[in-house]
Amino acid sequence: MLSRRCPPEQSDTPVTTPADAASEQEPERHPDQERAFEPSPGPAFEPAPEPHGARPGARRRPGGRTARIRRQVLDAVLAELGEHGYDGLTTDAVAARAGVHRTTVYRRWGDVGGLLADVLDAAGDDDWQPPDTGSLEGDLRALNEEIQTALTAQPPVVAALIAASFRSEKAAHAQRRLWEDRYARCEIVVTRAVRRGELPPHTEALPLLIAATAPLYHELLLLRTPPDPRLPGRAARAAALAAAAGAFPGAAAADAT
């Protein structure tokens, strides 16, 4: 799921003007868009609708140099982060690795926080959908497997990105946007389970999804417990059992009690 294609190709080393940086976009989608709950960019990077620092009214052109530069720069951020962590991350190192001029990076992303925020925004710019296995527990387990894979990947890019988001308000907001988007996409898992009769009507999706996934982040990121192959299934099963027993009644049902 996480690309190992680091560092990015160095074949193109353009230097842009500010107008370049603001005026081009790349619309095509890449095939490998299976993403979990976290930033997992790589060769499939896609531009966000409005890159940081872009002029609001700027004309858009599909594809081109700006999108290519963005991909190179954001791939370089991930490679630097995976190798050196946040403390090794500088706009200069990113520019050098991406093969672009340092003023381009500075002008377009501002600082390391801006770079991290754009990595996270770009990671959310895909068409990832949660797994559909036919059962709530199966869907949650498959989701957790994706999360465990991402959090234990080497180099530890996703873990480093989450850790880095503690260091920058911009990155923290982008990290939160990405998670909110992922949880919103996962609501269909709960809707389907209600429709199948596995869950009480009005089951609230978000707390259920957090209950199912939080133990993964807690053990792998906070407690740094070695990965346990039983963890994704166990957390999924616990959340599914709790939900079936009515642990997440939702606002309407809760008000009625």
Q: How far is the CB of 158 from its own copies (least distance, A)?
A: 12
- Taking CB under 8 A as the rule, which mask of x and - marks residues 143-162 in contact with its own copies? -------------------x
Contact 60, 29 (CB under 8 A): no
- Please pick, from the candidates 1, 58, 96, 163, the single residue that binds its own copies as defined by CB under 8 A: 163
- Please pick, from the candidates 19, 127, 166, 184, the single residue that binds its own copies as defined by CB under 8 A: 166
Token pair recorded at residue 92 = 């200069």
Q: How far is the CB of 146 from its own copies (least distance, A)?
A: 16
**81-111 residues labelled b (16+ CB within 10 A) or e (exposed):** bbbeebeebbbebbbebbbbebebbeebbbe
Contact 16, 95 (CB under 8 A): no
Q: How far is the CB of 244 from its own copies (least distance, A)?
A: 8
Sign of the four-CA dihedral 148, 149, 154, 158: negative
Q: Which stretch binds its own copies (CB under 8 A): 57-65, 73-81, 124-132, 230-238?
A: 230-238
What are the φ/ψ torsions at residue 61 (nearest 5 degrees)? -120, 140
Give the footprint of its own copies on this chain (CB under 8 A). 86-87, 162-163, 166-167, 172, 175-176, 179-180, 207, 210-211, 213-215, 217-219, 221-224, 234-235, 237-239, 241-248
